[in-house]
């Protein structure tokens, strides 16, 4: 089956953007921005910045540093983060392929198409079946994580971003960052797959 066209449209200005900071709660972008401001004022932030070129530390990288609870130097490739960022907070819609509503497999397909020009199969099950298995201990940034959230077959997919975090289109919260160790996901994890043509970087710099 040919992949459905996936495009990014303008998001509604008033649409709330939600992300998971950990397994127990969601936070708003406003709270992320507040945390960023606090981090930038801390001595550790100054020390980190001393090792970086000023123009290399972007708002995008700072934002994902908070979301992933990850040091700036350990963030995924900034090109990958840039492909993800426009989708953050977009609501879930079964069969959806735009920023007016998107489902989990359309989200992974869109991000990896933007990031690396890779055309993934349209459905979660097809993505799971097409790519080689990755051992749990060998999962790396950019790998696809699959879950069994309903029925007996694979029914959900996200993209691993490091530090035990992954981004996905949640049916209840839209596109968010979640933790693999969250009980809901750890008990429903089926496996990981690697798209061979991807060569994600361990660092954003």
Instruction: Could you list the beta-strand ranges (E) of 37-100.
Output: 97-98
Instruction: List own/partner pairs for 96-105 with CB under 8 A and 24 or more apart.
Output: 97/4, 97/5, 97/6, 97/7, 98/6, 98/7, 98/8, 98/9, 99/8, 99/9, 99/10, 99/11, 100/9, 102/169, 102/175, 103/169, 104/156, 104/157, 104/158, 104/168, 104/169, 104/170, 104/171, 105/157
Q: Let me know the angle formed at the C-alpha of 63 by 21 and 30, rounded to the nearest 5 degrees.
A: 70
Q: Which positions are catalytic?
A: 104, 156, 168
């Amino acid at each position: 089956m040919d992949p459905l066209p996936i495009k990014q449209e303008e998001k509604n200005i008033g649409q709330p953007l939600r992300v998971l900071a950990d397994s127990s709660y969601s936070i708003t972008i406003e709270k992320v921005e507040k945390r960023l401001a606090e981090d930038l004022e801390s001595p550790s932030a100054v020390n980190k910045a001393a090792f970086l070129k000023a123009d290399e530390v972007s708002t995008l990288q700072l934002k994902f540093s908070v979301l992933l609870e990850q040091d700036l130097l350990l963030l995924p490739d900034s090109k990958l983060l840039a492909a993800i960022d426009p989708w953050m907070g977009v609501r879930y819609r079964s069969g959806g392929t735009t920023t007016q509503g998107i489902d989990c497999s359309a989200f992974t397909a869109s991000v990896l198409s933007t990031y690396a020009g890779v055309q993934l199969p349209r459905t979660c099950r097809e993505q799971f079946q097409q790519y080689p298995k990755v051992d749990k201990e060998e999962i790396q940034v950019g790998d696809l994580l699959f879950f069994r959230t309903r029925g007996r077959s694979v029914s959900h997919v996200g993209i691993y971003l490091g530090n035990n975090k992954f981004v996905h289109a949640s049916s209840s919260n839209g596109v968010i960052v979640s933790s693999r160790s969250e009980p809901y996901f750890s008990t429903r994890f089926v496996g990981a797959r690697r798209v061979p043509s991807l060569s994600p970087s361990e660092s954003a710099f």
